[in-house]
Amino acid sequence: MTTQSDDGVDSDVDTATTTYDSSTALLVVDMQNDFADPAGGLYVQGGEDVVALVNAEIAAAHDGGATVVYTQDWHPESTPHFQKDGGTWPVHCVADSWGAELHPELDVRGPVVRKGTSGEDGYSGFSERDPVSGEPHPTQLGTLIPPEVRRLVVVGLAGDYCVKETALDGVRLDYEVVVPPGLIRFVNLSAGDDDRAVQELRAAGVII
């Protein structure tokens, strides 16, 4: 069966979107309660609908011998990342809270990279940046991807922020990057952010 994502791209929802082998890594981005549950602090519309689809992708990746790595927002209670402390976002994914937990139905079989642990803006799974100075530094994600991997498949939440930034960093690191549109959802903090994100990804060479 085929469905159409919010950006008008058809995608297969019953089976994995790609073929996996040891040269591919699947990056599962921020599939957490605060994003994927309607009761979450920064709920992404339709986020809960992605869980089962991502699980099918995870199963296919494991069956094909691919690497699977997960990312997880993990913020302190106060950080310049949050509106209450002068930032952009409502409080979300505070360390050790329900909202920060990976969705209970997500199939977690692989290492988890936590980001934003010291208050950084941790949009990309590959890098964090100081929310005041903008100075970037790498996470451990790059060390978890084997050297034989040449292609990344990036799925999860949200398409206009953490998925996008992870995919763009992947391109900068010389990977072929695929973002299956049926396996992401968007925050749309501003109207049209979803379309702009897809355009930016395509312009960078990401396969949508």
Q: Which CATH number characterizes residue 114's domain?
A: 3.40.50.850
> Would residue 147 count as lying in a domain?
yes
pTM of the model: 0.90
What would the mean pLDDT of 114-141 be, rounded to a whole number?
86
- Give the pLDDT of residue 4: 39
- Three-class SS state of 11: strand
- Give the pLDDT of residue 6: 41
User: Residues 115, 160, 164, 169: which is the catalytic one?
Assistant: 115
Is position 30 annotated as part of the catalytic site? yes
> Would residue 194 count as lying in a domain?
yes
Torsion on CA atoms 129, 46, 155, 31, rounded to nearest 10: 60
Span 50-77, pLDDT tens digits: 999 999 999 999 999 999 999 999 988 8
Compute the distance between CA of residue 110 and CA of residue 106 in angstroms, rounded to an integer. Answer: 12
- Give the pLDDT of residue 111: 98
Q: Residue 195 pLDDT more than 90?
A: yes
> Would residue 1 count as lying in a domain?
no
Q: Please state, in angstroms and as integers, the Cα–Cα distance from residue 190 to each residue in 16, 65, 82, 197, following that order.
A: 31, 39, 17, 11
- Give the pLDDT of residue 169: 97
Residue 141's pLDDT band (cuts 50, 70, 90): very high
Residue 100's pLDDT band (cuts 50, 70, 90): very high
User: Residues 73, 107, 162, 164: which is the catalytic one?
Assistant: 162
> Would residue 191 count as lying in a domain?
yes
CB-based contacts of 153: which residues, under 8 Å, 6+ apart? Answer: 17, 18, 20, 24, 25, 26, 27, 57, 61, 177, 178, 179, 180
- Give the pLDDT of residue 14: 52
The domain of 58 spans: 23-204
> Would residue 72 count as lying in a domain?
yes
Is position 194 annotated as part of the catalytic site? no
Q: Residue 10 pLDDT more than 60?
A: no
- Give the pLDDT of residue 15: 66
- Three-class SS state of 22: coil
> Would residue 10 count as lying in a domain?
no
- Give the pLDDT of residue 1: 31
> Would residue 15 count as lying in a domain?
no
CB 158 within 8 A of CB 184: yes
- What phi, psi does 51 have (nearest 5°)? -60, -50
Q: Residue 8 pLDDT more than 50?
A: no
Q: Residue 45 pLDDT more than 50?
A: yes
Mean pLDDT for the chain?
90
- What phi, psi does 67 have (nearest 5°)? -80, 140
> Would residue 18 count as lying in a domain?
no
Residue 11's pLDDT band (cuts 50, 70, 90): very low
CB 123 within 8 A of CB 156: no
Is position 7 annotated as part of the catalytic site? no
> At which residue do the structure tokens 């398409």 appear?
159
Q: How many distinct structural domains can be found in the chain?
A: 1
